Homo-oligomer: A and B are copies of this chain.
C-alpha cells in the first residue's frame, strides 16, 4: 500500500503544473503549488501517507459535508425543505435558478448557495460546532481556522454575499444573512491536512459510528445521505464524470483538498493546490483516478 501511494503520487505530480492555484481570494493565492500529499486511513486502523500529507491548507468547500452532517443531526431530513439533493451542470457559485419563480431551494448542499442554506440550519454557534465536530472526528484538537483566509474571504466574497442576500429575500434562510455568511466564511477557513481529511472520510466510510448522539436523524440515514450527496454533487458539475471515472463519494475544496470515502473500506485525503477549470485539485483528481484503478475502489 505504501508503495502504491508513493507511485501514484509521483505519477500524478506533473499534473499540478497544468493547474492554477485559486486566486479569487487573495490569501489563497499564497498556497505552495508544489505541495502534494496523500493519506489513507483504513477501516482496520492502518494509516498510510505519502508526500506532504501533514501540510496544512484550508478546508474550503469540504467543510460543506460537516455542515450538512450537523444540519441533519439538528433537523433530520427536514433540512431538505430548504436545500435539494440533486446534481447539476451549473457551477459551484451559481445563483440564477434561485431567482426563477418555480425554484424553491438551492439544488444541493455542495454548491455555495446550498451550503449557505445548510449552515443556516445548524443550531447555536454554527461555526463553533463545525470546528468542534471536525476536532472530535479527527481527534486533532489543534485544528483551527486561518484568520487571514477568513478575513480575505469576508472582504472579497461578493458572489457569496449576493447568494446569501438572495436566499434571505427568498425566505430560504432566516436570521441575518451577513451573520450566516460570517460562519460560512469561517468554516471554509479551517486548516486541515490530508490526514485530517482521511480521518473524516473514514468516519463516514465506517457509517458515522462513534458519536454520542445523532440528534434528529438515525445513523444509517445520516451516512447514506452524506455519501449519496457527495456522489451526486461533491465534485460540482463534473460529479457524474467523476463517478464514472473514480466512483468514490468525494468532496473537493479550492484549497486543493479532496476527501473521499470508500464505503466499508477506507477514507482518503488528497492535497495539491493547483486547480483545474472546474475548481478541483488537478493532481488530486488524477491521484483519485489512479487510486481507484490500482485499489479497485469504485462503488459501481
A119 to chain B, nearest CB (A): 17
Q: Which residue, A80, A85, A88, A95, has most C-beta atoms of chain B within 10 A? A: A85
Partner of A232, one of B223, B225, B243: B243
Do residues B177 and A168 form an inter-chain contact, with CB atoms below 8 A? no
CB-defined contacts of A224 to chain B, threshold 8 Å: 244-245, 247, 298, 300
Do residues B243 and A228 form an inter-chain contact, with CB atoms below 8 A? yes
A87 on the interface (CB 8 Å rule)? yes
A238 on the interface (CB 8 Å rule)? yes
The docked-state distance in angstroms from the alpha carbon of A101 to that of B163 is 16
**Interface flags, A214-247, vs B, CB<8A=1, else 0:** 0000000101110111011100011111011101
Known: A225-B244, A228-B244, A229-B240. A86 touches B88 (CB 8 A): yes
Copies of this protein, total: 4
CB-defined contacts of A162 to chain B, threshold 8 Å: 95, 161-166, 169
Partner of A87, one of B87, B100, B244, B245: B87
Do residues A166 and B158 form an inter-chain contact, with CB atoms below 8 A? yes
A253 on the interface (CB 8 Å rule)? no
CB-defined contacts of A241 to chain B, threshold 8 Å: 80, 85-86
Do residues A300 and B159 form an inter-chain contact, with CB atoms below 8 A? no
CB-defined contacts of A159 to chain B, threshold 8 Å: 165-166, 169
Chain A contact residues: helix, strand, loop or mixed: helix
Partner of A240, one of B161, B166, B233: B233
Within 8 A of B (CB), among A100-154: 100-102, 107-108
CB-defined contacts of A165 to chain B, threshold 8 Å: 158-159, 161-162, 165
CB-defined contacts of A243 to chain B, threshold 8 Å: 228-229, 231-232
A89 on the interface (CB 8 Å rule)? yes
Do residues A263 and B177 form an inter-chain contact, with CB atoms below 8 A? no
CB-defined contacts of A99 to chain B, threshold 8 Å: 94-96, 99
Do residues B300 and A223 form an inter-chain contact, with CB atoms below 8 A? yes
A249 on the interface (CB 8 Å rule)? yes
The docked-state distance in angstroms from the alpha carbon of A249 to that of B87 is 15
> Given contacts A86-B240, A232-B239, A263-B299, could you give 19 more A-B pairs where the C-beta distance is less than 8 Å?
A85-B240, A86-B87, A86-B238, A87-B87, A87-B88, A88-B89, A89-B97, A95-B166, A96-B97, A96-B99, A100-B100, A100-B102, A102-B102, A108-B240, A161-B162, A162-B163, A224-B298, A228-B243, A233-B240
Q: What are 6 contact pairs spanning A and B, CB under 8 A?
A: A88-B89, A100-B100, A101-B101, A161-B162, A165-B165, A224-B245
